[in-house]
Amino acid sequence: MSGICITRGSGQTIINYRPVVRDFLNFRFTDGEVSLAQLRAVDVTDFVQKAISRLNMRRAKIITTALRSFLSYVRFRGDITSDLAAAVPIVANWSLSSIPRAIGRDEVTRLLASIDRDTPVGCRDYAMILALARLGLRSSEVVSLELDDIDWVAGQIRVRGKNGQRNDLPLPADVGEAISDYLPKARPRNADRRVFLRDKAPIRGSKGPSGLGSIIRRSLKRAGIESPTKGTHQFRHGLASEMLRGGASLGEIGEVLGHRHLQTTAIYAKVDLDALRTLALPWPGEAQ
């Protein structure tokens, strides 16, 4: 990129755009001299197709926006005469375009089996991860659970969802056993009403879901599991996928996951093609 200086735009914009421009020029000119006058539309489309093939929608849009801005800028400077910015493909933000990445049932079993439940930390981590996997809870819903949210007599658990929404869910027996094992044996004595407390001072409930995310990453690494992601949502997606394959309707899945709109749940229909076919309308004129 010798002789080319990108100085327009805010500091953060320059930080985001500079690597994209560098990669584009390296792609076109490799280690040779950069000659912007030699750029052609095919150079632009080939780079974009290669660059965004394995990226999520947000990152792909950053790349196309950065490239379009750069090409407009160098045309304004007179380095190129063609409107190559128009050759940058548009990244379509199709609704339901991505399939949730879910951890498999066998991996969940391996992960839970790898936790040492004889230690206070292991006892807590096992109960938290089991709640993620069996109830499909968000990480924020797990860390915000309070002692009064569990109705041991009715076998229910009250979950605080998004926007203050509260859902009463059946408490699976194994989750109830894991929590009841943790409370008297491993939970520190503390006035905090949160179910799950930190193991280090200050002893209290977690202020956010990041702590649970760290627990998941450490547990996956210890178990030697290469999961699709390192976050907590893979358990939520895994439960939804299993329910779908087990014959549950999208409405039933949405009720368990606390979705307010069916469209939010509809993305899981893409996980199982056999289930997806049952949702397809017959082709006009097709024999019934």
| Res 285: pLDDT | 47
Q: CA 47, 48, 53, 59 torsion: positive or negative?
A: positive
Tens digit of each residue's pLDDT (9 = 90 or more) over 204-220: 888 777 889 889 999 99
- Confidence tier at 114 by pLDDT (50, 70, 90): very high
Tell me: pLDDT of 1 over 70. Answer: no
Give pLDDT, residue 167: 79
Q: Which of 17, 73, 182, 268 is flagged as catalytic?
A: 268
Checking if the pLDDT of 163 tops 60, the result is yes
Q: Which two tokens stand for residue 167?
A: 């859902």
Query: Which pLDDT belongs to residue 205?
Result: 86
Q: Is 259 a catalytic residue?
A: yes
Given a contact cutoff of 8 angstroms between Cβ atoms, the answer to whether 60 and 91 are in contact is yes
User: In whole angstroms, how far apart are CA 26 and each of 70, 74, 229?
Assistant: 14, 16, 30
Q: Is 126 in contact with 186 (CB distance < 8 Å)?
A: no
The string of pLDDT tens digits covering residues 31-46 is 778 899 999 988 898 8
Residue 158 has pLDDT above 70, yes or no: yes
Confidence band, pLDDT 50/70/90 cuts, at residue 15: confident
- Asked if 237 is an active-site residue, the reply is no
Most confident among 49-63, 99-113, 182-196, 253-267 (mean pLDDT): 182-196
pLDDT of residue 12: 65
> pLDDT of 19-77, one tens digit each?
999 999 999 998 778 899 999 988 898 898 888 766 777 788 888 999 999 999 999 99
- The active-site residue, picked from 28, 117, 233, 237, is 233
Catalytic entry in 259, 260, 261, 277: 259
* Active site (annotated) includes residue 233: yes
Residue 88 has pLDDT above 70, yes or no: yes
Q: Which of 117, 124, 187, 236 is catalytic?
A: 236
Whole-model pTM? 0.58
Mean of the pLDDT values across residues 80-90?
A: 86
Q: What is the mean pLDDT of residues 117-134?
A: 95
Secondary structure of residue 150 in the 3-state scheme: strand
Q: Tell which residue, 54, 51, 57, has the closest CA to residue 19.
A: 51
Give residue limits of the domains in the chain.
Answer: 11-87, 105-274
pLDDT at residue 164 in the model: 66
Which pLDDT band, with edges at 50, 70 and 90, does 238 fall under? confident
Q: In which band, very low, low, confident or very high, does the pLDDT at 272 lie, cut at 50, 70 and 90?
A: low
Cα gap 226→254, rounded to integer Å: 28
C-alpha to C-alpha distance for 84 and 68, rounded to whole angstroms:
8
Q: What is the pLDDT of residue 51?
A: 82
Among the options 162, 185, 222, 260, which is catalytic? 162
CATH class given for the domain over 105-274: mainly alpha
- Arithmetic mean of pLDDT over the chain: 81
Q: How confident is the model at residue 233 (pLDDT cuts 50, 70, 90)?
A: confident
Mean pLDDT of 65-93: 87
CA atoms within 13 A on the CB side of 133: 20
| Range with lowest mean pLDDT among 67-71, 219-223, 256-260, 282-286 | 282-286
Position 105 scores a pLDDT of 87
Kindly name the residue from 124, 138, 187, 237 that is annotated as catalytic: 138
Question: Is 17 an annotated catalytic residue?
Answer: no
Token pair for residue 208?
A: 């956010």
